[in-house]
Amino acid sequence: MSTTSARSWRVLWVATAALALAACTGPSADTGPEPGAKPAQGVDTSAPLDFAVITHGSEGDAFWSVVKNGAEDAGRDLGVKVTYNGDGEPAQQAKLIDNAVAQGKTGLVVSMANPDALKDSIQAAVRAGIPVITINSGADESKAFGAIAHVGQDETVAGKAAGEKLKDEGKKKVLCVIHEAANSGLNDRCQGAKDGFGGNVTNLQVDISNPTDTESRIRGALQTDPSIDGVLTLNSQVADLAVSAASAAGSKAVVATFDLNSDVVSSIKAGRIIFAVDQQQYEQGYLPIVMLKLYRDNGNTLGGGQPVFTGPGFVDKSNADQVGKYTERGTR
C-alpha cells in the first residue's frame, strides 16, 4: 500500500469511527453539544494548528513510542504540526505543559497518571483558551479539570476482564505487579483484576526503571509462595521480566500482561505468555489530534462527557499472528 493510500485509509477510518461514535452516544439535553456548537470562548480559531502531546512516558518506552507514532501520523495526515514530549516525573511533566502554554500551542493532549500534580497546569491551559484532551489515565478528573474529552481505556473494566480471563484459565492465586508507584491507573487495574478474578490476588510493587531488581522481586515472590499460579503484569516490558523470573524460580505460574510489544507477541506465540490486554494505544495518539482539529475547525466534540474507550481487547494465540504484523510497524 502506498503512503498516500495508507494516509487516505486512516483518515477515512477515523471519519467513519467518529460518525459511529456520534451515532452511539448522540447529543442529549444535558451533556451533548448543541447544533452548530462553537469552540469555547477564548479559542483563537485563526491561529495555526500547533498541538503538543505531553505524556508521562519515558523516552524509548515501547508503549509510548506507539502513542507517539499515532499522534505524528495524524499530524501528517491532517496537516497539523504535532510535537511530542514525555517525562515520568510528575513535576517535570507539569513544566512541559506550562512550557507548551507559554509557547502558544493551540491544542494539548495530556496523559494524567498523577492528576493532582498536573491539575494547576492543565487548568491554566484551559484558562488560556487552549483546548485539552486527556489520554490513557486520569479519566475521572478529566472533565473536572476542563478537558473537552478523554481517550483511553477504563482501567477497572480492563482489569476485571483480565481477572475473569485468568479465572477461566483455572488459576487460583494471582500476583499483580505494579511498576509505577504514583500511577493511580495501575492500582485500578489490579483492583479490577481482583474483582473479576474473585479469588486471591496479591499486589507486588516494583520499579520499572530497575529491570534487574524488578525481575528479582518477581522471582522472590514466586519462590516464597509456590501456590501462586498466575502473574499479571501491567506493562509489556515487565511481562518479559516476569517470564524470566518464573523460569528462574522453577515456578509453573502462567504470565499474562497488559499492553503489547514484539517480544510479548512472540512469547504469546511460543506459549510463554497466555494473553495480553491491548488498549490499542495508537488510537490514543491518533484520535485526539483528529478531535482537536475538528474542535478547532468545526466546534465538534466526542463522547458526550464520557470517555472514548480504546480498549480493552485481548491478544492470544488465536490472533497473535495478525496483530504481530501491526506491532512490527509500530501501530499496535
* 97: CATH: 3.40.50.2300
In a domain, 329, yes or no: no
Read off the pLDDT band of 184 (50, 70, 90).
confident
Residue 61 has pLDDT above 90, yes or no: no
Residues 141 and 178 in one domain: no
Total of domains in the chain:
2
Task: Round to whole Å and give the CA distance between 243 and 272.
Answer: 7
Residue 204 has pLDDT above 90, yes or no: yes
Residue 296 has pLDDT above 50, yes or no: yes
pLDDT of residue 43: 57
The tens digit of pLDDT for each residue in 114-133 reads: 999 999 999 999 999 999 99
pLDDT of residue 26: 37
The tens digit of pLDDT for each residue in 209-268 reads: 999 999 999 999 999 999 999 999 999 999 999 999 999 999 999 999 999 989 999 999
Residues 113 and 167 in one domain: no
Cβ–Cβ < 8 Å for 190, 202: no
DSSP labels for 155-209? HHHHHHHHHHHHHHTT--EEEEEE--TT-HHHHHHHHHHHHHH-SEEEEEE--TT
Instruction: Quickly count: other Cβ atoms within 10 Å of residue 329's Cβ.
Output: 8
Task: Round to whole Å and give the CA distance between 32 and 140.
Answer: 18
Instruction: Quickly count: other Cβ atoms within 10 Å of residue 77's Cβ.
Output: 18
Residues 117 and 240 in one domain: no
Cβ–Cβ < 8 Å for 70, 285: yes
Residues 93 and 218 in one domain: no
Residue 1 has pLDDT above 60, yes or no: no
Residue 4 has pLDDT above 90, yes or no: no
pLDDT of residue 47: 83
What pTM does this model have? 0.79
> Which among 180, 159, 152, 176 has a CA at the least distance from the CA of 253?
176
Residues 167 and 270 in one domain: yes
Task: Round to whole Å and give the CA distance between 232 and 206.
Answer: 13
Contacts of 2 (CB under 8 A, 6+ apart): none
- The crossing angle, in degrees rounded to 10, of helices 3-25 and 281-298 is 80
pLDDT of residue 199: 83
Q: What percent of the chain has pLDDT over 70?
A: 86
pLDDT of residue 5: 41
Residues 90 and 231 in one domain: no
In a domain, 319, yes or no: no
Q: What is the mean pLDDT of the chain?
A: 88
Lowest mean per-residue pLDDT among 6-10, 46-50, 170-174, 194-198 = 6-10
In a domain, 332, yes or no: no
Residues 192 and 224 in one domain: yes
In a domain, 313, yes or no: no
Residues 43 and 165 in one domain: no
The tens digit of pLDDT for each residue in 80-92 reads: 999 999 999 999 9
The tens digit of pLDDT for each residue in 143-180 reads: 999 999 999 999 999 999 999 999 999 999 999 999 99
Compute the CA torsion angle 221, 224, 228, 232 (nearest 10 deg). Answer: 0
Residue 10 has pLDDT above 70, yes or no: no
Residue 322 has pLDDT above 70, yes or no: yes
Residues 245 and 141 in one domain: no
**Residue 247 or 6, more confident:** 247
In a domain, 223, yes or no: yes
Residues 285 and 268 in one domain: no
Cβ–Cβ < 8 Å for 282, 66: yes
Residue type, 19: L
Residue 3 has pLDDT above 80, yes or no: no
- For 93, the domain range is 3-153+280-301
Taken as a whole, the chain contains a residue count of 332
DSSP labels for 273-314? EEEEEE--HHHHHHHHHHHHHHHHHH----STTS-EE---EE
Residues 273 and 284 in one domain: no
In a domain, 200, yes or no: yes
- Tell me the three cell numbers of residue 204: 507486588
Residues 161 and 177 in one domain: yes
Task: Round to whole Å and give the CA distance between 139 and 88.
Answer: 18
In a domain, 77, yes or no: yes
The tens digit of pLDDT for each residue in 21-53 reads: 433 333 333 333 333 334 444 556 778 899 999
In a domain, 314, yes or no: no
